[in-house]
Structure 1
Amino acid sequence: MALITIKNVVIRGMAACVPSKIEENSDYPYFDDNELDRMIPTIGIERRRVLEKEKTCADLACKAAEKLLNELGWEKESIDLLVFCSPDRDYILPDTACIIQGKLGLSKSTMAFDMTLGCTGWTYSMTNVCSLLSSGCIKRALLLTGNMGTYECAYTDKTAYPLFSDSGVTTALEYKNGASPIFCQLGTDGKNYEDIIIHDGGARNGVTENSLLLKDFGPNIKRSRLHMEMKGMEVFAFALKTAPKSVEELFDYCQINKDEVDCYFFHQANYYMVKKIIKKMKIDPEKAPFSLLNFGNTGACSIPFTMITERAELLRNNHLKNVGCSFGVGLSWASLFFETDHIIIPELIEFDN
């Protein structure tokens, strides 16, 4: 497993944007009454945010970036690096980061590229962006993460669609000599890549007529090969085993005691799963907030999104020690220990569809 120490980088601010459209899981037509009473308390999701057609999570992340730059007082010409991390890119080519660079009006000297991870998107891309900043050659960076779960999942698939939301988040990072180090633990189990997969649409399996067909996988479970398929029990077992081990190895590496941590931010997969992880790790539940109830699983955005929606005041007004732990598609996982100090967090932005 990769264990990494990153020096000289600080988080200056974060901003999040969601669509204004709200879907209530109580109105979802593919649950019967018994399932509704059982499922919503288990997954912990009552409502979700949904983008209309022709808009993407890159639009949300762009709105967040504009707001954050304004509140930080950063000149656009001062941004040296822009990374967009999402499985939901605008096009196969070009990289969405290049499009965002143009929309934001950043300098032509800005380096811009995409990363395509899902659940572990923020933790993996933080590791990469901060590593580039740590030498001091790059001074300021914007990390944009996006999620369009309602695009990835079939509306007719009750096992997936009610879990996911659409969102965009921007994290502002800056070189600072002598900053408290960021510690990272990352890993991959690619042999089980099919546990969360969209089968068609890439170079391996292109789009055919068969790709578009909705197929029946059980009562109220219909999806095509262009929609996400998730093996729930396998993913649950993977997360319950991997997440605690990842955080424990991180603590061993950076010599931090779990009680020293002020906030734990876990990937918001579902309520039952994350509660089990918290209990297994013997963490104070008050230190591990959830954003699932009103926003669902926000994929690559879920860790910073939870920071923004559930702990904004604490982060704005204090110097905190934090752990972020993510796990999922790949299969991959990552845990970060990082400190924040009175960071800028604007109010949650609503994007009018």
Structure 2
Amino acid sequence: MNFNFIGKKISSITSILPENESFFDDEISNYNFPPKKSRILKELMGYEKHRVASPNTLASDFIIAGFEHLFTNNIIEKDEIDAFIYVTQSPDYLVPQTSTIIQHKVGLKKDILCFDLNQGCAGFIHGLFQAFFMLENPKIQKVAIANSDVLSHKVNKKDRNSYPLVGDGGSIAIVEASKIKNEIFCFNQTFGENALAISIPAGGFKLPSTDATAKDFEDEDGNIRSLNNLVMQGASVFSFVQEYVPVMVDSLLKEAKLSKEEIDYFLFHQPNKFMLEKLADKMQIPHHKMPNNIVQNFGNGSGITIPLNICFNLSSDAKKNPLKVCLGGFGVGLTLSGIIMDLEKIPHLQLITLKESYANLTE
């Protein structure tokens, strides 16, 4: 599905990360594999270190800290936010929605639209879709999109397939109307027949968590996890990305009447370095135009990888220069989502750290 918008911009992005760094070399003994094989995987996938939240840190803690940073530094006023979209797969509760808890804790006005989106890898893109739709209404002037997850809480430390790449954290993007009436080109497809390629089997109403679902087992590849833990069918997801992301990008370029060379950056969700390098090679895109270093430095934080990519890799460029970018989210669902848009100069790009003492105070 292709659909378009006119005259919307991202005016601020704040990425919030836990202070704790965990290093792949220190985790090798956790895995049921020879260290030599694990180090080969490290080089291939780009594993180095990842940010992992403490067990008592909630996904909402990152967003509360992010909002307080925005308000303290006068980047935006509380009453300016007319809608708040919270995208997570790590909610504080099943009921109520976490967006309302955050709204109260940070003091957002009551005359506001608040809702949660359950989305992961394409979560930032889906948040932008919703914000763009909302901004079509003149009553809504500014929308805050927050993404955060603490997926390390749901990954087994003995699972070499998933634990080395997972990262925690959050991001807040402020989206508003732009005086420059540039067109935004959007694309989305859903492949629900492969939804369980990335899943947490137990914990929902279909299979509630029990003592039995908490028992560890070893899969056919030697990874150890329980049914309460995140599982990814790596080969299936890799094939999905390599087959369908190029089709999505070609469709967006056709709609926008642009060539690949006219795009300054391809800012995609980052599952790992290997997958993005192979994707860039297949699409004949120079590696410097498709950054792939987020997992290496921070881990795969699901919906935060795209805004974190902008803050980490484009901070000086995006603050000074307008950029034409292609954003791409792909994974959980399985979902395929993309946007071609102009990033106008973004004066506020921040990467801050959530102190563990702060997280304890927000319980």
8 Å Cα contact 1:14-1:344 kept in structure 2: no
Code of the residue aligned with 1:10 in structure 2: it is K
Question: Match of 2:104?
Answer: 102
How do 1:1-353 residues align onto structure 2 when only pairs under 5 Å count?
2-28=1-27, 29=29, 30=31, 31-71=33-73, 73-176=75-178, 178-218=180-220, 220-290=222-292, 291-353=294-356
Unaligned runs of 5+ in 2: 357-363
8 A Cα contact 1:72 1:344, kept in partner = no
- Name the SS of the counterpart of 1:99 in structure 2: helix
Closer, same or farther in 2 for the Cα pair 1:72/1:131, shift >3 Å?
Answer: farther
1:103-140 deviation digits (Å, cap 9, x = unpaired): 11110011110001011111112111111112322101
Partners of 1:179 and 1:62 lie apart in 2 by: 32
Compute the displacement of 1:177 (Å): 5.0
Secondary structure, aligned partner of 1:165: coil
Tell me the number of residue pairs that the alignment of Structure 1 and Structure 2 aligns: 352
> How far, CA to CA, are the matches of 1:4 and 1:260 in structure 2?
20
Residues 1:37 and 1:208: Cα distance change in structure 2 (over 3 Å): closer
1:7 deviates by: 1.8
Contact persistence 2:319–2:349 (CA under 8 A): no
CA drift at 1:218 = 4.5
Q: Secondary structure at the match of 1:321?
A: strand
- Would you say the 8 A contact 1:81–1:138 is kept in 2? yes
1:337 Cα deviation after fit: 0.8
Provide TM-score, normalisation by structure 1: 0.96
Once residues 43 and 348 of structure 2 are traced to their aligned partners in structure 1, the CA distance between those partners, rounded to angstroms, is 30
Contact 1:308 1:345 survives alignment (8 Å): no
Is the 8 Å Cα contact of residues 75 and 348 (structure 2) preserved in structure 1? no
- How many angstroms apart in 2 are the aligned matches of 1:329 and 1:143? 19
Contact 2:55-2:153 within 8 A present in 1 as well: no
Structure 1 spans left out of the alignment, 5+ residues: none
Runs of at least 4 residues off by over 6 Å: none
Distance 2:314 2:36 in 1: 34
Give, in whole Å, the separation in 2 of the partners of 1:305 and 1:149.
16
Distance 2:326 2:240 in 1: 20
| Distance in 1 separating the partners of 2:73 and 2:182 | 24
Report the 3-state secondary structure (helix = DSSP H, G, I; strand = E; otherwise coil) of the residue aligned with 1:161.
coil
Say if 2:124 and 2:304, in contact at 8 Å, map to a contact too.
Answer: yes
Deviation readout 1:301-325 (Å, 9 max, x if unpaired) = 1111111111111111111111111
Q: Secondary structure at the match of 1:348?
A: strand
Q: Check whether the contact 1:68–1:345 (CA below 8 A) recurs between aligned residues.
A: no
Once the two structures are superposed, residues 166-208 of structure 1 have per-residue CA deviations (whole angstroms, 9 ceiling, x without a partner) of 0100000112355322211110110011111111111222222
Cα separation, partners in 2 of 1:175 and 1:326, compared to 1, 3 Å: same
The one-letter code matched in structure 2 to 1:118 is G
Residue 276 of structure 1 aligns to a residue whose secondary structure is: helix
Answer whether contact 2:13 2:350 (CA < 8 A) is retained: no
Mapped contact 1:167–1:298 kept (Cα < 8 A)? yes
How far the C-alpha of 1:220 sits from its partner, in A, is: 5.0
Q: Which amino acid aligns with 1:90?
A: D
Whole-Å separation in 2 of the counterparts to 1:72 and 1:340? 22
Contact 1:7 1:134 in 2 (8 A): no
Query: 1:40 & 1:51 partners in 2: Cα distance?
Result: 21
Measure the CA separation in 2 of the matches of 1:332 and 1:152: 21
SS of 1:211 mapped into structure 2: coil
Aligned-partner residue type, residue 9 of structure 1: K
SS at structure 2 position matched to 1:90: coil
Q: Does the Cα contact within 8 Å between 1:43 and 1:272 map onto a contact in 2?
A: yes
- Alignment-mate amino acid for residue 215 of structure 2: L
Distance in 2 (alpha carbons) for counterparts of 1:105 and 1:322: 34
Comparing 266-275 with 70-79, greater Cα deviation is found at 70-79
Distance 2:76 2:196 in 1: 42
